[in-house]
Structure 1
Amino acid sequence: MVLDKRRMSLLHYLYQQNGSIGMEQLKKQLGVSQRTIYYDMDQINGWLEQEHLDPIQKPYGKGFFLTKETVEALPEKLTLQDEWDYRFSPEERIKLTTLTLLTQNKPSSVQELKDNVQVSRGTIFRDIQQINKDMETSGLVLIHENSGYIVQGQEKDKRQVISDTITSLLTDNNNDHMKQKLNSMLHPAAPTAETNLFSMIQDEIAALEGVLNVSFTEDMFQLLVLQIMIAVQRKSHDLSLAVDKEEKKILESTRAFEAARELNDRLRGKGFHPLPEQEIYLLTIQILGSRVHYDPRTGSNMKAMEQLRMVIKKIVDDFQVTACIIFEERKQLEDNLFVHLKPTYYRLKYGLSLNNQYYQDIQTHYPDIYDLTKRSLSHLESFIGKTIPKEETAYIAMHFGGWLRRENQTSVKKYRGVVVCENGIAASGMVRAQVESLLPEIMITNTLSIREYNNQPVEADIIFSTSFIKQKQTPIIYLPTILNDADRESVVYRTRRLLKPDAAGFHNIEGLMNIINHHTEIYDKETLQEKLETFLSSQHSFKKETYKPMLDELLTKETIQFEQEVTDWEHAVRTASAPLLQLENIQETYVEAMIDNIRENGPYVVIAPHIALPHARPEEGVDKLGMSLLHLKKPVSFSDQDKHKASLVIVLAAVDNETHLQALAQLTEMLSNPGNTKQLLQAEKAEDILKLVTHYSLQGGE
């Protein structure tokens, strides 16, 4: 009996529920038909029976769930399952075959390749054709000899593809099976545990964490293990790195280089061939570029790291100006960004790739924060000398997104929570922020990696985890890293059912069903019960994602004014604010606060040539979200410098750190085009401006 990726996803989802779940929710979550779900459940039940576990439960009129015994046994079963119990997806299959071709020191036969991923001869030939196309883009050539297939090309190009492929396999899979498969491919089972290279290198990387006083993310930990296994077993003397003498000196000055040399000495002491010099430099770069959960060494004296700290200050400055917000806990945000951006700096500098599995989710659920982050990274690009890839931008956006949500929380905390997340400080921060936003009564006291969770006691009332973890005494809520509305509703309901089982609404489903059944005929008992549970859970303070209005909902005919000129910048701010005062979006105190800010901080409100964006804090007199625009024929000066003259004065009144971000992102996108700015400056009436505003609102800021 086999479980493919889709069935594994269904089994994982059932495992993550603290109770039953209805068919409608399963269809919505998995994006497949009812017929497909029932078929997959039959296959899963066959596998569960094979593993001597209870099948999926489905009492009449209730949803689907796993028994307590199955839930407790499942993590170990999934960890120990044999490769024959899992069917690889086409994407996984191609990546594994690519890895086989690149890591074997001999030609790979068709029989070996198809046996490795358990497919037919025809399927493996189609996969080979795709792999050949993929390799051409990396400067490699797949050729066929009498004894099989072999890859030709430079060693550094092969290593890059190997690294990219392993990274992708580790980050795209949330189960231990892929790690076991990679281990078995790169190092066939040793006769005894003592001679198992994989286990030995795992111990070495764990010791390396202790030496460097860092905690690598789970995928980075496994990536380092697998890359060292490859280095130990490959003849890599022809490996050439584009690292000059000066760069080598810089690498040699790091603690990571010293630790890499010590690790090499220990491997040599255990009978392995020592790594060549180039491998030591490559390992150093990989260590420096690995994402971490924490790194307390924020006071580095290295010149580049001191410069990076200054760059981070400028990034936060730019984000605050662009997003029209002020971070209260700015130093902690900068420290967290520093921990994240240190390895980012090395990854970009030395061309290491990053597979960000959250990029699409960030683009879908937080496009405004992503866009504002992207516009704040010019100093980082100048510092590194390279364009920041979208995957790296998305991780930085997760930092800002998590911080924006944290700063909105002021509720009394009644319960202690811990987040277990294997994907680093940005992802952990995002989960933490979403949980505290949804459940203000919970204070997240710590964020842990899976290895940290397994190796230390956890003091908390509840645990929130993005991955399978061993059940301890504390109850666990499983959740994705980026939550949609259905996820939010489910997390709130499941958490409060655990923490507040006696709260009104959680015990009266059966009573309601009995009353309804007594007075009418129920045609679909399961769906009705599911809808009632959803409704009652929504009565327990569940709040959907904050609505963020479009730009054309804020800039309207009523909030746009045209004037020939004003006496000075203070007069400009007062005039521009008039529509918002009249509409009761703001109080007079807000106008005074904006003027005081400019007096105190200078002309920071001039965000681009001809454009000023005055604003103040929400608590200084904002009653409703609003935006107004003053168009001046004669520009007004915010200082004695020409670059601080503005003809467009746009007042923003934000009610919090988030609600205004979509409209602001659309405004920023509109103003970033010089042609649009010229068109706005030449406008004669409100309708001329609203044409552009409507266009960028319909585009969603893209």
Structure 2
Amino acid sequence: MLNISKKGQINLLVSILAEGKKYKTVADLEAKMGLSRRSVFYWLKQVNATLKSLDLDDVQRLSQGGYFLTQSTLDELQQHDQSETQPLLNVAERRQMIIWYLVQQDAHLSLVNLSERLNVSKNTIIKDLRALPPLLPADTEIINTSHGKALAGSEVMQRRWVYRQLAQQNLLIIHKIQKLPHIQMLTERLTQLQADTGNYYTGDAAQTLIWYIAWLLNRLQMADRALTTVNNYPLDRFSQWCEDLLSRYGRVTPGEVGSLRELLLAGQLQQVNDDDRFAKELLMTTQKVARRFSSVSGIDMVTDKFLEALATHLYSTYFRIKYNVQYHHANLTDVKLEYSYLMNLTKYALQPFEEFLHAPVSSDELALIAVYFGGEVKRLSPDWLESEKQPDVILVCTSGVGTSLLLYQQLSARYPNISFSQPVSLEEFQKIDLTQGAPKLVLTTAKLQEPVDVPTLWVQAIPTSSDFQRLSQEFRQLGLLDNSQETKLVHAVLDIITDYARVDDFNGLTASLRDYFQKTPLETTAVQNSRPSLADLITPERIQIATEELDWQAAVHESLVPLQIDGTVQPMYADRIVGITLAKGPYMMIKDGVMLAHAKPEDGVNSLGMSLLLLKQPTTLVAQGQSRQLAVVFGLAPVDRDAHVHALSQLLALLQDAGLYAELQTADRPEDIYKILERAIQLPS
């Protein structure tokens, strides 16, 4: 918590304004402070008076009613930050932290100790403790000891509680665990396990396992925490991996090996070893499931691609249910309500799987599988063939379901006035009568086996900027795109932007650019000036020069250290960027040697910011079988789709100026680099 006054409400209010999303409404402040609207306004005045005494800017107010602190004030307030000892938590977060302390077996958890740790009164702690029983790990209870409160009961359930918090991205607990040793070692070992077994986890599942095992190894340093129960398990690559790891860093018992092996098998996979005997058996069951769904839905779901994808999902589901590794996600509640009809179809279809499993599928797992079926139903929907408006472009894909839908979404968002078909396979495409509806173009990621009477254009599954340039040109020639000067300019700018950065919302960006070009020069200038420049975001304190040799993952983490220190991003943000790169390849390389390291705002961004790391010893980025040299890392923390656009345009200008970029590469001091950034903002962008 920030500490700028002897009055707690002032410290609380300024801390709320400084945390999380940049703009806070009065309703936000009322909820966080537990005060009336009138009281909130009173304390806003008191905060402004205190800020004035510190020679800082007042609390700013948007015309729409949002309140925020200026960046200069936020920077100055860092010296008043006591968040490590006095975290600002809401009720749910505070109760989660109490359970965390109990699970950790922290000594002396008295009312006084907890109230001091959590910066609340003893009465508040008493209320929290009364509300905790339904939230505790299963088969546990809080007991009183001579040293305070303690948690008694199942060690396995306490561990599963920690695992579930990590899987659900509890940032408070992730922050605690990220400080533990062995993270890098575990990352390397888990990567090797995946290569050895041929089973590859999703990025989130791998990260959850790494964090959990780091915590587990630390817990096993406590003499009485090891599982002593007998756990019969087969001698396979997973158990051998567990035995080796625990013998080196923890304690080896049958209970420990078996328990860790269960979690490894329950982790969500994105690829399964086809030669795995169990996977082959499961694929046969999956075929029965798909046929049952087809029989009650009237949609043919029995395609090789879908069967492989669903079997991969059910592989993890099988072990989650078998070993009671509960899956839960808040959004699934909405799925159960909105897609109740699909839930029923899915439940019917899953009967062969439940027989194979010898157990029922939980409602949460059922909802997750229903979403999976729903996505395939939408992908295979023949509605576009039957609708009055036939597609302008038929999309033929051979990549995975996820990549195909991503390509469809990119094209639909970037070209909203063009009608694209849902992605179809080569086999499905051959069944389409092209004389019906007369599409103007066939867009394909594969080579068609036979020529067709419709113009055909090949594109990569994940298009590059040159691909989009070819597409725009083709669409204009076919009359699918407006040839007005304004539209040409919008798409020209989009083509330039995608040369240097990933754009997830082309529809929104297109609309913003069109609005921009429609404004008068006077209005345009005002809009530009309202956005921070490259030099505003990359201040000297956010510039680093690394003289020692770093691998690419360490370089990404190092580049974001200044943004972590000043609170712009959370520690998990760098991990998320590394995970995305490992999963999707080096698409963040915006120029030879230059990486724009970024993720989404919800991945751990608190406020807008950028950083720069110059590597005097360039390294190599290797991901998804692709290799790129890396010499400069620009860290970007976006808060929306608009605020950083002006700075990025200046960054593009810098990278396109060969002389200025060469100066940046040879600079020896952060001050020199900052001067280069100042010169860059004068370049036409």
Task: Give the TM-score taking structure 2 as reference length.
Answer: 0.49
Task: Select the structure with the greater relative contact order (CA < 8 A; seq sep ≥ 6).
Answer: 1
